[in-house]
Amino acid sequence: MTSYAPIRDPDKDQLLTPQNAALVIIDFQPTQVHSVASRDKRELVANITAVARLAKLFNLPVVISTVNVKTGVNGPTVHQITDVFPELDAIDRTAINAWEDQDFVRAVKATGRKKLVIAALWTEVCLAFPTLDALAEGVEVYPVVDAVGGTSVEAHEAGLRRIVQAGAKPISWVSLACELQRDWNRTQTTKTFAQIVFAVEGN
């Protein structure tokens, strides 16, 4: 029972690694969460919180964006996410498509990562639109399918089909966790990794 001694180049690995991926969280705000109809809302929040905690554990660059907070129309990012990243300021937009906001695109490109793990509400809009634009610019996009939701089951599924047809690579939050951890011999993260995975899975 041995793993390869030298791990694969984490920067060039075809799979997600802490060195080649960044996380983007878009519009996880109270209004959007409450309007999701494709997934149980508690499960949705638990799953995106797990994704956030994984990004924190593995030191992924993280970009958080909101829409219409400064205009007073919407509330800020839900506290379950900001509790994980109290040091991060959300990039607030008026554009429905985050990729049409210069500050957002600048922040994403500043991570220097070509693999973007993305979660956004809703699936058919705020996940689909920036994903399509990022893919068109040669970025690899990994939507976390069980940490997003749409205004209906049909809308969610149509949104996912649309971006997959364009080249997005769907993952679950547990597959993300295991892809980043990769080996139980990486003991510096195993304890918290297990706490995140099995605590949420046990709910």
Residues labelled catalytic: 126
Q: Which amino acid is at 8?
A: R
* d(C-alpha 168, C-alpha 124), whole Å: 14
Q: What is the CA radius of gyration of the chain?
A: 16
125: DSSP letter: I
State the Cα torsion 99-11-23-200 to the nearest 10°: 150
* d(C-alpha 146, C-alpha 136), whole Å: 24
Cross-sheet strand order for the sheet of 62-67: 91-93, 62-67, 21-26, 115-120, 140-143
Peptide linkage before 122 cis (omega within 30 of 0): yes
Helix (H) or strand (E) run with residue 140 in it: strand 140-143
Distances (CA, A) of 15 to 53, 57, 203: 20, 18, 28
